[in-house]
């Protein structure tokens, strides 16, 4: 092909500029629109990452009973009321979901393949603790579950902190809560 016969398209031609503008508006998204779409997807994924563990924890609380929790003068002064215990368990699930989302957003479940199984193990142990201790009335089994929950939480904290330091720091209150929960469970064993 002979390059001498080729003409360069002029951009100052009104017909060409109008066609390019129309094509840009109808076929391509601007950077602002693309950022808005990404932000919406991020908020949706964050809502799902937090809502799923919290709703599963609500289901576990619903399945658990209150018959095996000491009331009145038979419980020690440092025992939280049952509603506070369950509320803090839900807050712990919220923080765990938020931490897992932060790790997921950084691509941590692909970078470190042990992160997801540890999170799922911790979530599963957290969900079965309430029905075992309060529903089935088996505090010995609940003590084993709470010890397993503490171990998986420590491992999960270490893995998450290597991927995203903020996610690791968000797990520290839940780690303290699980340690306190194990002490409450130990007292329930000897009650």
pLDDT digits (tens, 9 = 90+) for 35-61: 777 767 788 889 999 999 999 999 888
Contacts of residue 68, Cβ cutoff 8 Å, sequence gap at least 6: 133, 134, 137, 139, 188
Residue 187: what pLDDT?
A: 86
Question: What is the phi/psi pair of residue 89, to 5°?
Answer: -65, -40
pLDDT average, residue stretch 52-78: 78
Tokens of 113: 């393949």
Q: Of residues 14 and 158, which shows the higher confidence score?
A: 158
Q: What one-character-per-residue DSSP string does 79-96 give?
A: PPPHHHHHHHHHHHHHHH
CA distance 89 to 126: 8
CB 137 within 8 A of CB 68: yes
CA distance 152 to 174: 12
Q: Of residues 141 and 8, which shows the higher confidence score?
A: 141
Tokens of 186: 């130990």
CA distance 180 to 191: 16
Residue 63: what pLDDT?
A: 78
Residue 23: what pLDDT?
A: 47
Q: Provide, rounded to the nearest whole percent, the portion of the chain with pLDDT above 90.
A: 46
The pTM score is 0.75
Q: Of residues 156 and 133, which shows the higher confidence score?
A: 156
């Amino acid at each position: 092909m002979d390059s001498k016969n080729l003409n360069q398209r002029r951009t100052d031609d009104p017909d060409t500029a109008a066609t390019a503008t129309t094509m840009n508006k109808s076929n391509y998204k601007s950077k602002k629109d693309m950022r808005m779409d990404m932000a919406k997807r991020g908020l949706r994924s964050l809502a799902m990452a937090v809502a799923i563990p919290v709703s599963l924890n609500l289901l576990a609380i619903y399945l658990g009973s209150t018959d095996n929790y000491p009331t009145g003068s038979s419980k020690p002064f440092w025992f939280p009321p049952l509603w506070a215990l369950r509320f803090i368990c839900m807050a712990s699930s919220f923080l765990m979901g938020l931490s897992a989302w932060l790790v997921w957003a950084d691509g941590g479940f692909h970078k470190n393949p042990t992160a997801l199984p540890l999170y799922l193990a911790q979530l599963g142990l957290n969900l079965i603790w309430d029905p075992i201790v309060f529903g089935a009335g088996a505090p010995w089994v609940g003590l084993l579950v709470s010890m397993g929950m503490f171990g998986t939480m420590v491992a999960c904290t270490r893995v998450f902190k290597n991927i995203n330091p903020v996610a690791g720091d968000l797990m520290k209150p839940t780690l303290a809560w699980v340690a306190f929960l194990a002490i409450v469970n130990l007292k329930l064993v000897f009650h």
